[in-house]
Amino acid sequence: MKAARLIVVEGPMGAGKTSLTRLLAAAMAIPAVLERPADNPFLGDFYRHQQNVLATELYFLMQRRQTWDGLEGDRLYVADHGPEKDRIFTPLTLEAETLRLFREIRAALSYNAPRVPLLIYLDGPVDVLLERIRARQDPWEASMQRAYVLRVQDAYRQWLRHYPGQVLDLSTVAGDFVADSEHAKILTEMVKNKITELGEDW
């Protein structure tokens, strides 16, 4: 059975991943796969007190496993997170021994990881990201610190240097595509052209 195919939109919090995912899903008439942080009962304690860190990461791991297992084989989706997301965040959040345990648990799990023909990367100045995070008024993000967002940005950049797949870096051109419909149209056309260039149908 062929694996599902996933256009992944990645980047730090506040970069516009979910907004771009929804935009692309509508423009390309393909299903959107959205992360559900509000379902994670440990996330608030993690951001407020750095507690329940392993539980937070394991919950996300199991949530993603359930999501990937529910995708239809060979169908193209667009998602605001990808199969490698824990590899970006867990080295930031977990101590060495706990990280080793997490990786052992991850390796023991079996699930149908989707194929990622294209990764889209979004980013922005940290103060812009923080402004967007505050504007969302999500309770689990209320205590997020600037230093943590900077660490997440750096972790993404380090990870991208070694990412083996196709990357469309929109971090310098994304702008405010939510408010600017013409800019949104330009971005969607860039993605469509890249997917066509890679020989992927939808």
Query: Does residue 58 have a pLDDT over 70?
Result: yes
Domain count across the chain: 1
Please state, in angstroms and rounded to a whole number, the distance separating the CA atoms of residues 169 and 122. Answer: 7
The Cβ of residue 7 has, within 10 Å, a number of other Cβ atoms equal to 29
pLDDT of residue 160: 95
**pLDDT tens for each residue of 65-108:** 999 999 998 899 999 999 999 999 999 999 999 999 999 999 99
Chain mean pLDDT for the chain:
92
The Cβ of residue 14 has, within 10 Å, a number of other Cβ atoms equal to 24
pLDDT of residue 174: 64
Q: Annotation-wise, does 133 bind a ligand?
A: yes
Query: Does residue 14 have a pLDDT over 70?
Result: yes
Please state, in angstroms and rounded to a whole number, the distance separating the CA atoms of residues 109 and 89. Answer: 19
Q: Annotation-wise, does 11 bind a ligand?
A: yes
Q: Which of 60-64, 70-74, 142-146 has the lowest mean pLDDT?
A: 142-146
Residue 199, CA distances (Å) to 187, 190, 195, 202 in order? 19, 15, 7, 10
Range of the domain at 66: 5-198
Query: Does residue 142 have a pLDDT over 90?
Result: no
Please state, in angstroms and rounded to a whole number, the distance separating the CA atoms of residues 103 and 87. Answer: 9
Q: What is the CATH number of the domain that holds 14?
A: 3.40.50.300
Model confidence at 1, pLDDT cuts 50, 70, 90, reads: low
Sheet holding 76-79, edge to edge: 32-33, 76-79, 5-10, 115-121, 167-169
Residues with catalytic function? 80
Q: Annotation-wise, does 19 bind a ligand?
A: yes
